Copies of this chain bind each other. A is one copy, B any other.
Amino acid sequence: MSKGVAGREPSRRGVLRGAVSGAVGAGIAVAVGAGGAAEAATGDGHLSVAVLLYDGFTALDAVGPFEVLCRVPGVRVTMVAREAGPVTTDTGELSLVAERAMRDVHRADVLLVPGGGDRGVMAMMDDTGVHEWIRRIHRRTVWTTSVCTGSLILGAAGLLRGLPATTYWAARPYLAEVGATYTPGRYVEAGKIITAAGVSAGIDMGLHLAARLSDTEVAKAMQLAVEYDPDPPYDTGSPEKADARTEALALKLLADSAV
């Protein structure tokens, strides 16, 4: 490589550091939101986001919003599960580490419940201990949120009664069972509860939540930071756009990959 860009050090050592320090050092005024009126539950001035992991959760449901929120100024994201330690996802091929056990988490400014495979979600829908923890945290959250079938878990805890909400496309009919009204959208905000549609919709909701926790400038910057300029090779991302054959195959792939 011959020349650096805008005077950046062109050596390998400076590749990325150069890109960052170059822009930050260029004297461009940068406003960083400070979390607004939300009260910080961490005790250290940070806004705390607790992501509830459980055996059989779906990795991208948790990691999509995590990736957007973890860089919002003043926000600290913590993975929480029944026990601290590795928690395995719905296909059994990946584990994320929960930093803290539920019993040690008494406050969070934001609660986020990801969806999961049938087995994992049904176990959580039947777990009254988890429901009690969710209700306790929810009482003092600024935002209580879910991705995908995580909304059915919020619903089983009694949080969605009488509210508009969304969920995974294949689970839409079952929102009524927890007293919620299915409402179309990548995410649906009802009071302080935000539910996102399936899996990747957590990224869209994460950007919305970044704006709510900080401001739209930060949210727009986070969209660029994760280069979220989507251009999927197909247009089959919702049941309204996919044909019956694609829908049947999607359900088969989900069922066959579940453990």
Listed in ascending order, the chain A residues whose CB lies under 8 Å from chain B are 1-2, 4-5, 8, 10, 12-13, 15-17, 19-21, 23-24, 26, 28-32, 58-60, 63-64, 66-67, 70-73, 76-79, 86, 91, 93-97, 99, 117-118, 121-122, 125-126, 148-149, 152, 156, 168-171, 173-174, 176-177, 186, 197-201, 203-204, 207-208, 211, 216-234, 236-239, 241-242, 244-257
Q: Known: A91-B71, A217-B245. Is A20-B255 also a contact (CB below 8 A)?
A: yes
In the complex, chain B residues whose CB is within 8 Å of the CB of A64: 60, 63
Q: Is the pair A170, B221 in contact by a Cβ cutoff of 8 Å?
A: no
Looking at the complex, which one of B70, B168, B203 makes contact with A94 (CB distance below 8 Å)?
Answer: B70
Copies assembled: 2
In the complex, chain B residues whose CB is within 8 Å of the CB of A247: 23, 221, 224
Tell me, in angstroms, the Cα distance from A125 to B255 when the chains sit together: 40
Q: Known: A28-B245, A94-B66. Is A170-B77 also a contact (CB below 8 A)?
A: no
In the complex, chain B residues whose CB is within 8 Å of the CB of A32: 249, 252-253
In the complex, chain B residues whose CB is within 8 Å of the CB of A239: 224
In the complex, chain B residues whose CB is within 8 Å of the CB of A221: 236, 242, 246-247, 249-250, 252-253
Question: Could you give 9 example pairs across A and B, Cβ below 8 Å?
Answer: A2-B176, A60-B226, A71-B253, A199-B228, A200-B230, A207-B234, A219-B234, A221-B253, A224-B246
In the complex, chain B residues whose CB is within 8 Å of the CB of A26: 248
In the complex, chain B residues whose CB is within 8 Å of the CB of A77: 93-94
The minimal Cβ–Cβ distance linking A211 to chain B, given in whole angstroms, is: 7
Of all chain B residues, the one with the shortest Cβ separation from A229 is: B237
In the complex, chain B residues whose CB is within 8 Å of the CB of A252: 23-24, 30, 32, 221
Looking at the complex, which one of B73, B186, B227 makes contact with A199 (CB distance below 8 Å)?
Answer: B227
The minimal Cβ–Cβ distance linking A210 to chain B, given in whole angstroms, is: 9
In the complex, chain B residues whose CB is within 8 Å of the CB of A254: 20, 71, 225
Q: Is the pair B156, A12 in contact by a Cβ cutoff of 8 Å?
A: yes
A23-B170, A186-B231, A221-B242 known; 8 new pairs, CB 8 Å cut-off, are A60-B64, A76-B93, A93-B99, A197-B229, A217-B249, A218-B253, A222-B253, A223-B242
